[in-house]
């Protein structure tokens, strides 16, 4: 059924399109659906991706920018030369496909364990940390007067919000208490500048090829804030997928990340990056706790939620390594 709906849509906005083939739902994505398909065209098939809210899905999470804003940000990034898929079409109500957009498919890998271990990416891996620094610099340079309306978040607001989320779990964790106290003691205050922040820039949300980064995905948590937040988040140990001695996504060093960022004309503040790495680690721990709460209390006792929920203990170890390293 969705193939016929996509075909009706594509023939309206894609000149020369004659239909759609190979529609298949992709795994992953807790709040959005992703479909892969090909647009039939006399010049050859056009690979495409549909990203939409599932039918019957309620209001977007309060932290989400919304799919319309995502599409605008991705197209703005594409036009500015930041690796991003080209947005081909934003869905309209009369298409009966829901809320979302269609983008051109970028071939490559998103599964972190393959990127970190397969021979196909061996030549790219040593350069990825520096390359990611350059990509983030380009992202943070996107002109604010062209951005959609986005929420604005500072460090103090984030601490307050995450503490409320943590208390609501009613799942006391002394290490989380330690992290909250450390964050309040080291709150850097308002950033000297406010930029676009991707909000979920990490290994797993990047399309990687043998030549390196090909596209940045999942812009749903984009907001205005401290640009060092993105640099801290990509260093969180949970996104290293076992390569704990390579802080930047399991690829390389913070020094390479900072060098790539500064080579692209941006200034890095390592102390603020450390603050946001601690914040990001706590953030993921609380999110894991939320998954466990929904597993225990909700009607859907999915194994996936339980597996993510148990990872809260991993973030406790990560926080201790950051805040009380051996020999300190």
Q: What is the pLDDT of residues 265-316, one digit of tens each?
A: 999 999 999 999 999 999 999 999 988 877 777 776 777 777 888 889 999 9
What residues are paired with 24 via a beta bridge?
A: 36
Task: Please give the average per-residue pLDDT across 157-181, as a whole number.
Answer: 95
Encode pLDDT of 32-71 as tens digits: 889 999 999 999 999 999 999 876 544 445 678 899 999 9
Encode pLDDT of 186-206 as tens digits: 999 999 899 999 999 999 999
pLDDT beyond 90 at 327: no
pLDDT score recorded for residue 23: 95
pLDDT score recorded for residue 57: 45
Average pLDDT, the chain: 93
Give which of 260, 280, 261, 257 is closest to 200, Cα–Cα.
280
pLDDT score recorded for residue 10: 97
Give which of 279, 238, 274 is closest to 258, Cα–Cα.
274
pLDDT score recorded for residue 311: 87
pLDDT score recorded for residue 30: 54
Say what the pTM is.
Answer: 0.93
Contacts within 8 Å (CB) and 24+ apart, 175-182: 175/316, 175/319, 175/320, 176/282, 176/285, 176/286, 176/316, 176/319, 178/319, 178/323, 179/278, 179/281, 179/282, 179/319, 179/323, 180/282, 182/278, 182/323
Higher pLDDT, 227 or 26: 227
Measured on CA atoms in the order 273, 276, 278, 281, is the torsion positive or negative?
negative
Report the distance separating Cα 227 and Cα 220, nearest Å: 16
pLDDT score recorded for residue 241: 95
Each residue of 245-276: b (16+ CB within 10 Å) or e?
Answer: ebbbbbbbebebbbbbbeebebebbeebbbbb
End-to-end Cα separation, the chain, in angstroms = 61
pLDDT beyond 80 at 29: no
∠ at Cα 231 (227, 233), nearest 5°?
110
pLDDT beyond 60 at 113: yes
List, in order of start, the domains of the chain with CATH numbers: 23-104 (3.30.200), 112-323 (3.90.1200.10)
Q: 255 to each of 112, 130, 301, how far by Cα in Å?
A: 21, 8, 42
pLDDT score recorded for residue 55: 63
Higher pLDDT, 175 or 65: 175
């Amino acid at each position: 059924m969705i193939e016929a709906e996509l075909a009706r849509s594509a023939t309206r906005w894609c000149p020369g399109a004659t239909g759609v083939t190979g529609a298949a739902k992709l795994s992953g994505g807790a709040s959005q659906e992703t479909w892969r398909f090909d647009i039939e065209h006399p010049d050859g098939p056009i690979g495409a991706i549909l990203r939409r809210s599932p039918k019957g899905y309620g209001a977007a999470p309060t932290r989400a920018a919304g799919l319309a804003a995502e599409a605008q940000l991705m197209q703005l990034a594409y036009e500015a030369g930041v690796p991003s898929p080209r947005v081909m079409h934003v869905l309209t109500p009369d298409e009966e496909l829901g809320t979302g957009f269609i983008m051109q498919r970028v071939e490559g890998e998103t599964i972190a364990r393959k990127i970190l271990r397969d021979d196909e990416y061996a030549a790219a891996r040593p350069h990825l940390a520096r390359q990611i620094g350059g990509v983030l610099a380009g992202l943070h340079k996107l002109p604010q007067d062209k951005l959609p309306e986005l929420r604005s978040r500072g460090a103090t607001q984030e601490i307050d919000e995450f503490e409320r989320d943590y208390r609501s779990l009613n799942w006391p964790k002394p290490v989380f208490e330690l992290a909250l106290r450390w964050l309040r003691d080291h709150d850097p205050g308002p950033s000297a500048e406010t930029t676009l922040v991707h909000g979920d820039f990490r290994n797993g949300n990047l399309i990687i090829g043998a030549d390196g980064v090909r596209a940045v995905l999942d812009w749903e948590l984009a907001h205005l804030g401290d640009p060092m937040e993105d640099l801290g988040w990509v260093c969180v140990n949970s996104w290293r997928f076992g390569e704990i001695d390579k802080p930047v996504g399991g690829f390389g060093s913070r020094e390479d990340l900072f060098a790539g960022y500064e080579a692209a004309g941006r200034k890095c503040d390592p102390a603020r990056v450390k603050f946001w790495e601690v914040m990001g680690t706590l953030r993921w721990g609380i999110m894991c706790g939320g998954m466990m709460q929904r597993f225990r209390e909700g009607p859907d006792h999915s194994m996936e939620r339980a597996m993510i929920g148990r990872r809260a203990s991993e973030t406790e170890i990560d926080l201790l390594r950051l805040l009380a390293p051996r020999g300190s």
